[in-house]
Chain A
Amino acid sequence: MFRYIVRRLLQMVLTFFGATFVVYALMFANIDDPLQALVGDRPLTDTQRSALNAQYHLNDGFFTQYWHYVSGLLTGDLGQSLTGRPIGDMLAQAWPVTMRLALLAIVIAAAVAVGAGVLSGLRRGGAFDTVTLVLTLLVLAMPIVVLAPLAQLVFGIQLGWFPPTATRDANLYQLLLPALVLGTLVVATELRVTRASVAENLRSDYVRTARAKGLAPKRVVGVHVLRNSLIPVVTLIGVDIGVLMSGAVVTEGVFNIPGVGFNLLRGIRTEDGPLVVSFVSVLVIVFLVINLIVDLLYAALDPRIRYE
């Protein structure tokens, strides 16, 4: 087990540098003239341009720029955004609210998906199952760019149940609507997977055996079926965190939450290379760590799986 974790961690280091390199290369190719974007339509004077170029190493070739970035990264200095703010500070300010939002969305989505999924798996073809099927199709069909402003309009403005926007130190109530919207991104798939896997396991041999032994139905479903059905769901939830992070770009924009997605969107708009790369790098780390945790959890859930 220990050796497995060490090996995974080493792989993560490689993946991390590979990913930042690719992101850096993409941003480098995309950036046209970020200094001009900074001042709008007005021409920059030569002196301004050379001073800013020197500050951000914009004149150097790709590998020199990447080297500047990586060496800064290894010494804990993430550099400055093009607006002159230390990126380390921006990350520290942006992450907590996005984490809270994503966690809340995951908890809501998982609770709904597992609850409703198990119910409809147990009563396949029933009224409840049909209704959830239709609802999940609806949710799947609605892109978040539509859903987020719509939810804001209906629940935030017209009904006034929730505040229409949230801030950095938002409380649970303010984050609830954005989290619900974000959760819809993943709830449908999680629900369908739970349902399918419960339905499948209900027909398996060990469940028949458990029933034949005379175990109470509650125990058959609660322990035998549920535990085995949730293995694919747990994996899915881990992967979904990545989906949620990309969904946060839209949700945070609509609800004005100054988190990770909000900053990424701005960085891309203003061609702020250092900002985008740093935020994506941290996203990569989060994604890698969560995947590791999911894999470990997998072994804990399924005794057949052993890591060497």
Chain B
Amino acid sequence: MPGKSPWKVAASLATIALVAAGCSGSTSEDTEVLPNSISIGIGEPSSLVPSNAVESNASQVLASLFYPLVRFDPQNKPYPVAAQSITHDKANRVWTVKLKPGFTFSNGEPVTADNYIEAWNYGAYGPNAQRASYFYSRIDGFADLQAKDPDDDGPEKAAEPQATKLRGLKKVNNLTFTVTLSENFAGWQSVMGYDAFLPLPKAAFSAPGVLNKEYGEAPIGNGPFKMKGKWSHDEKIVVEQVADFKGTVPKIGGITWKIYQDLGAQYADLIGGNLDVETKIPIESLGSASGDLGDRLGKTPSSAFSFMGFPLYEDKWKNPEVRRALSMAINREEMTDQVFLGSETPAKSFVSPVVSGARPNSCGELCEYNPTKARQLYTAANGPKDIKIGYNADGGHKAWIDAMCNQIKASLGVNCAGAPQPKLGTLLDKVRAKEDAGLIRLGWTMDYPLMENYLGPLYTSDGSSNYYGYKNSTFDSLVRQGSAAPTTAQAEKLWREAEDLLVRDMPVLPLRFGQNVFGYSDRVTDVTMDLYQKVDIYSIDFAD
């Protein structure tokens, strides 16, 4: 029968397919975590080149591969790590970095001043389009490495920048270099703790100033761990200990950074025993997490700050009394407890209290829930009868925005509604065009632990994230004076004075400070996380 053969073919094809599906994956067992190593969940990093890394996934992996110039103590004061000493002149303008001798990259190259200078020059050079390039903007000569597109987005090519090297970086000897800033800045040492200020080995460059294309796939660093194989995209990054590392040696022999796209899948693996640390428990699992994990659920403060900007270009929000009244109409505790299940904490200041010099309650009674007083004040100041809250719909904000609106309705007796926009970009476009977008939902995570990193970008007149248009020249000059102050203590005093002005003017509503809510398996112990959403790889250890 001629018709029989297709069936036989189909049946055997199916069998082959099934067998192939089964057999081709049988190698997965040997990729399991080694006995002296642990696994930590992350998302796919955007890049593993230090000057191109601006998110916490990349930052975590880089922390295992590199040894930074400074790290931060529990009070968030910087102390030298790869640096022997960091000194500065009286004006805080010229900083001298002396490196510890004897350190090498994992390929055997010695770490010298050149490695830092070349890496920073590469990162700052505009046409390299490194995402962290703005970190170098305080260094003298940064502007000369940037080029302006002559016809702004037109077809004409941007001109070559004037220089390829930062004028402010000078090598003194093999282990010493100086950094000259364009303006005096007392907090520079803290800034140098960021990933952008890590060194790159000679092997990273294929020619002077040209990064080797393959470098980002398997970065060679000066840290306690080195890459085992290459970055297996969307799957994992395996690092193992460097033999006789000169610095602080971690207690674990290696880390498998397992890559997840979905926090829920990561949580399933943590509970299922396939993962040792999850750095962010998804909010939908928070309810069951304490039951699932018991005392293996941890919380530490993070630097995240959620707030609501007033569109100050609109007349109805011009009166500070109205803004203060609204602040007192909100019950921040109820929101963090009911909606965020304790994963965030109420914010009662304009600068996260985790940074040195900042106060937890600078806002005082204006951030306390007081519906009666709020209503009196609001009616007296003739506040708007309709309140709109603009937010991006793709960030899971609806629940708390609705809750907040209900609080406002109950306290002030006015209408309140959420006004979702598809993306944050669309919302900000409306704000830039001064359209009626309502109050603006915003968030901020710091780059370096200084009060200035909140005050500068968020509230100064030319701050990069001051979308709401707050302008106060006294405030601006106080922040600037603080940055130029000779000591950090003096700087912090000036910055606190600046923050007091914010309490008076209330340009934004402080709402919540973030926390790292993390969980870990019973294989590991001493798990802590820092302000940058990174697991401390030096303290983590095996449970016995």
- Residues of chain B within 8 A of A247, CB atoms compared: none
CB-based contact A163/B126 at 8 Å: no
Residues 451-493 (chain B) with a chain A CB within 8 angstroms: 464-465
A 85-103 binary contact with B (CB < 8 Å = 1; else 0): 1000010011010001101
Nearest 8 interchain pairs by C-beta:
A47-B126, A172-B22, A258-B234, A51-B129, A164-B268, A171-B25, A256-B265, A164-B272
Residues 213-263 (chain A) with a chain B CB within 8 angstroms: 227, 253-256, 258, 262-263
Task: Name the CB-closest residue of A to B213.
Answer: A84
Number of A-B contacts (CB under 8 A): 173
Please tell me which one of the listed residues A37, A46, A100, A157 contacts residue B268 in the complex, with CB atoms under 8 A apart. A157
CB-based contact A165/B274 at 8 Å: yes
CB-based contact A59/B28 at 8 Å: no
Residues 1-49 (chain B) with a chain A CB within 8 angstroms: 2-3, 6-7, 10, 14, 17-18, 20-29, 31, 44, 46-47
- Residues of chain B within 8 A of A46, CB atoms compared: 146, 148-149
Interface-central residue, A90, A168, A263, by most chain B CB under 10 Å: A168
A199 to B442, CA, bound (A): 62
Residues 420-465 (chain B) with a chain A CB within 8 angstroms: 423-426, 442-444, 464-465
Task: Name the CB-closest residue of B to A172.
Answer: B22
CB-based contact A254/B265 at 8 Å: yes
CB-based contact A103/B18 at 8 Å: yes
A77 CB within 8 Å of chain B: no
B17 to chain A, nearest CB (A): 4
With contact pairs A45-B126, A265-B261 given, residues A100 and B20 touching in the complex (Cβ less than 8 Å): yes
Could you pull out 5 A-B pairs where Cβ atoms are within 8 angstroms? A43-B465, A47-B147, A59-B153, A165-B269, A172-B21
- Residues of chain A within 8 A of B155, CB atoms compared: 59-60
B184 to chain A, nearest CB (A): 23
- Residues of chain B within 8 A of A96, CB atoms compared: 24
CB-based contact B161/A39 at 8 Å: no
B 411-423 binary contact with A (CB < 8 Å = 1; else 0): 0000000000001
CB-based contact B464/A43 at 8 Å: yes
Task: Name the CB-closest residue of B to A171.
Answer: B25
B128 CB within 8 Å of chain A: yes
CB-based contact A32/B272 at 8 Å: no
CB-based contact B28/A174 at 8 Å: yes
Please tell me which one of the listed residues B22, B131, B146 contacts residue A171 in the complex, with CB atoms under 8 A apart. B22
A276 CB within 8 Å of chain B: no
A107 to B320, CA, bound (A): 67
Interface-central residue, B147, B161, B235, by most chain A CB under 10 Å: B235
Please tell me which one of the listed residues B17, B26, B54 contacts residue A42 in the complex, with CB atoms under 8 A apart. B54
CB-based contact A32/B274 at 8 Å: no
A305 CB within 8 Å of chain B: no
CB-based contact A47/B22 at 8 Å: no
Please tell me which one of the listed residues A59, A100, A163 contacts residue B272 in the complex, with CB atoms under 8 A apart. A163
A28 to chain B, nearest CB (A): 16
- Residues of chain B within 8 A of A52, CB atoms compared: 129
A194 to chain B, nearest CB (A): 15
- Residues of chain B within 8 A of A297, CB atoms compared: 6, 10
- Residues of chain B within 8 A of A165, CB atoms compared: 260, 265, 268-269, 272, 274
B278 to chain A, nearest CB (A): 12
B108 to chain A, nearest CB (A): 28
CB-based contact B232/A48 at 8 Å: no
A 1-19 binary contact with B (CB < 8 Å = 1; else 0): 0000000000000000000
Residues 121-178 (chain B) with a chain A CB within 8 angstroms: 126-131, 133-134, 146-149, 153-155, 157-158, 161
With contact pairs A48-B129, A53-B153, A174-B28 given, residues A38 and B46 touching in the complex (Cβ less than 8 Å): yes
- Residues of chain A within 8 A of B22, CB atoms compared: 171-172
With contact pairs A43-B464, A168-B235, A262-B234 given, residues A152 and B18 touching in the complex (Cβ less than 8 Å): no
With contact pairs A32-B426, A164-B269 given, residues A253 and B261 touching in the complex (Cβ less than 8 Å): yes
- Residues of chain B within 8 A of A47, CB atoms compared: 126-127, 129, 133, 146-148, 158, 161
A280 to B197, CA, bound (A): 40
CB-based contact A51/B154 at 8 Å: no
B264 CB within 8 Å of chain A: yes
A258 to B7, CA, bound (A): 34
